[in-house]
Amino acid sequence: MSLLVVGSVALDNVETPFDKIENALGGSSTYISLSASYFTAPIWLVGVVGSDFPKEHIELLQQHGIDIEGLEIIEGGKTFRWGGKYHYDLNVRDTLFTELGVFENFDPKIPEGKRNPDFLVLGNIDPALQIKVLEQIESTKFVVCDTMNLWIENKLDELKEVMKRVDVLIINDSEARLLTNEPNLIKSARMIRDMGPKYLIIKKGEHGALLFSEDKIFSAPAYPLESIFDPTGAGDTFAGGFAGYLDSTGDLSFENIKRAVIYGSTMASFCVEKFSVQRLTELTKLDIRERFMEFLELSRFDEK
């Protein structure tokens, strides 16, 4: 089952209370693809980098079976760079710099032969670009879309257009409240689903995630992590694990979408254990399965 991923590819400088790293592989499509690569193939990545993009990052993606035909390399251009600093409680981060480079004029082009993916994941980019992607797609079974406060605040019309055309929208709790101006998350979720997406996932960080369909709600626990090394990319990693698992099973029942939320949470819980994508490059299927079972144990109770 093919999975097409469109998003940013970046070089990140990240500083946490514990350590710092420079020129680390980052970007939404990177995290999504690496996370999904543990579940499904082929994965088709679409993005843009400059000629400064390190060869070893390309090789890493390829080692994970990610098809980078759609990764445009602009000769003489500079790769998107982001610098961020996390504070003690890791919920607050400061963006130190954003150098868009070639990403400023990103015009996603889906290669021929890749316009009929089984699954499409629209990473967190300008919704105007997400629309451009959707317009190139000839057919697909399921569209997963991520977004953020920046687009809710600045590109709401375009985002609303995207929302009408996706199966699952993934946002966090503060973004849901921002999008609807409604503090109650359950009400907010209903309002967002009324804007288009068949399913809505609201991520709540240390409090887990909520999945909403027309008539059902699923509450997923958070993995009890005693220390978070680097939260960068956790949301993208969630989306990648979610879409990768669903794509690999081809089962779009609510029961299976619940499992996909847990696999997304599983991958995100690994992601934050080390800097950058590092933890996502060294996992085994057994690691993932074991943690999935820990999630099961964490929230399971029986009637008596």
Cβ distance to its own copies smaller for residue 139 or 284: 284
Peptide bond into 221 cis (omega under 30): no
Cβ distance to its own copies smaller for residue 56 or 215: 215
By CB under 8 A, residue 214 contacts its own copies? no
Q: Give the burial class of 91: count Cβ atoms within 10 A of its Cβ; 0-12 exposed, 13-18 middle, 19 or more buried.
A: exposed
Cβ distance to its own copies smaller for residue 150 or 225: 225
Question: Looking only at residues 172 through 201 of this chain, which bind its own copies when binding is defined by CB under 8 A?
Answer: 183-187, 190
Question: Looking only at residues 17 through 36 of this chain, which bind its own copies when binding is defined by CB under 8 A?
Answer: none
User: Within 10 Å of residue 252's Cβ, how many Cβ atoms?
Assistant: 14
Q: Which amino acid is at 196?
A: G
Residues with Cβ within 8 Å of residue 105, at least 6 apart in sequence: none
By CB under 8 A, residue 206 contacts its own copies? yes
- Counting residues that bind its own copies (by CB under 8 A) gives 40
Place of tokens 């469109």: 6
By CB under 8 A, residue 226 contacts its own copies? yes
Q: Which amino acid is at 197?
A: P
Q: Smallest gap, in angstroms, from Cβ of residue 304 to its own copies?
A: 6
By CB under 8 A, residue 76 contacts its own copies? no
Q: Smallest gap, in angstroms, from Cβ of residue 95 to its own copies?
A: 21
Among residues 281, 215, 208, which one has the least CA distance to residue 254? 215
Among residues 131, 121, 81, which one has the least CA distance to residue 101? 81
Question: Looking only at residues 285 through 304 of this chain, which bind its own copies when binding is defined by CB under 8 A?
Answer: 292-293, 296, 298-304
Cβ distance to its own copies smaller for residue 150 or 293: 293
8-state DSSP, 41:
S
By CB under 8 A, residue 89 contacts its own copies? yes
Q: Per-residue DSSP letters for 245-264?
A: HHHHH---SHHHHHHHHHHH
Q: Please check whether residue 255 is in contact with residue 10, taking contact to mean a CB–CB distance below 8 angstroms.
A: no
Q: Smallest gap, in angstroms, from Cβ of residue 193 to its own copies?
A: 13
- Map residues 262-281 to x or -, x wherever contact with its own copies holds by CB under 8 A: x-------------------
By CB under 8 A, residue 215 contacts its own copies? no
Residues with Cβ within 8 Å of residue 234, at least 6 apart in sequence: 268, 271, 272
Q: Please check whether residue 41 is in contact with residue 65, taking contact to mean a CB–CB distance below 8 angstroms.
A: yes
Cβ distance to its own copies smaller for residue 156 or 293: 293
Q: Which of these ranges, 52-60, 94-102, 225-233, 234-242, lies near its own copies under the rule CB under 8 A?
A: 225-233
Q: Smallest gap, in angstroms, from Cβ of residue 271 to its own copies?
A: 17
- Phi (first) and psi of residue 302, to 5 degrees: -120, 155
Chain positions contacting its own copies, by CB under 8 A? 88-89, 183-187, 190, 204, 206-208, 210, 217-222, 224-228, 249, 255-256, 258-259, 262, 292-293, 296, 298-304
